[in-house]
């Protein structure tokens, strides 16, 4: 199964989510390959920090910011992995476009700000283009960096706005703005590995993982 975490809008926390998903699945015993499709290499740096600290399990990670290279490597090696997580985007790039054609699931994080919601239209156009090439791509939008209180009207308004973009389904597992996510990401850790524990951050990520991979089971059966 191949999941891309991507958005043409930068600063929405896609890399943190991609790294968290990859490590969580590796901790669950899955053979996972994390691909950093962004020239900034933030995901690759996080995994390098994990390796330097000797954390187990190790995470296989490669950086392919160029679309043809990403496409070729995934097609060549996809049979070796149970799950491939691609961190792509921050702009309309060849890597993002290649990832969309390869993926079973697209997860688009967006923040509860009007311009982040508007950026979903740009991603919707890329989704339409990818679907014209291949069938079966399922696309989900998730509220990321949401207000910690959980009852903000901004959060609710942003979630409701997804309904106006028919290319996406809203995934009702918001990830809130918590220091635990950035602290864990910088060290190449899952939030469940970070000490001291932030039980709310851990629960949010567990809910996302459960929902996302339940969705994947449906995709596989279809």
CA–CA separation, 160 and 129 (whole Å)? 24
Residue 13 backbone class (left: φ over 0; alpha: ψ -120 to 50; beta: rest) = left
Among 66, 54, 104, which residue's Cα sits nearest to residue 82? 104
Q: Quote the pLDDT of residue 222.
A: 45
Contact in structure between 41 and 63 (CB atoms under 8 Å):
yes
For residue 219, pLDDT over 70 is answered with no
Structure tokens at 68: 């043809």
For residue 86, pLDDT over 80 is answered with yes
Mean pLDDT for 177-183 is 93
- Phi, psi for residue 60 in degrees, rounded to 5: -70, 130
For residue 158, pLDDT over 90 is answered with no
Q: How confident is the model at residue 34 (pLDDT cuts 50, 70, 90)?
A: very high
For residue 37, pLDDT over 70 is answered with yes
pLDDT tens profile 111-138: 877 666 777 888 999 999 999 988 889 9
Among 25, 4, 24, which residue's Cα sits nearest to residue 15? 4
Mean pLDDT for 186-212 is 94
Mean pLDDT for 63-91 is 95
CA of residue 89 relative to chain centroid, distance: 10
Residue ranges of domains in the chain, CATH in brackets = 2-221 (3.40.50.300)
């Amino acid at each position: 199964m191949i999941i891309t975490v991507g958005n043409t809008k930068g600063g929405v926390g896609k890399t943190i989510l991609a790294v968290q998903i990859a490590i969580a699945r590796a901790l669950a015993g899955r053979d996972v390959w994390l691909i950093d499709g962004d020239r900034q290499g933030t995901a690759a740096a996080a995994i390098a920090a994990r390796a330097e600290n000797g954390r187990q399990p190790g995470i296989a990670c490669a950086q392919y910011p160029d679309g043809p290279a990403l496409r070729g490597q995934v097609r060549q090696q996809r049979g070796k992995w149970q799950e491939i997580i691609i961190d792509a985007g921050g702009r309309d790039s060849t890597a993002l476009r290649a990832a969309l054609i390869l993926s079973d699931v697209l997860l688009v994080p967006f923040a509860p700000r009007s311009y982040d919601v508007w950026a979903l239209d740009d991603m919707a156009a890329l989704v339409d283009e990818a679907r014209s090439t291949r069938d079966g791509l399922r696309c989900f939008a998730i509220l990321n960096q949401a207000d910690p209180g959980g009852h903000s009207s901004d959060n609710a308004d942003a979630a409701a706005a997804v309904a106006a973009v028919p290319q996406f389904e809203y995934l009702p597992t918001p990830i809130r703005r918590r220091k635990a996510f950035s602290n864990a990401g910088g060290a190449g850790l899952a939030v469940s590995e970070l000490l001291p524990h932030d039980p709310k951050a851990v629960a949010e990520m567990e809910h996302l993982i459960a929902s996302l991979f339940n969705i994947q089971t449906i995709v596989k059966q279809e």
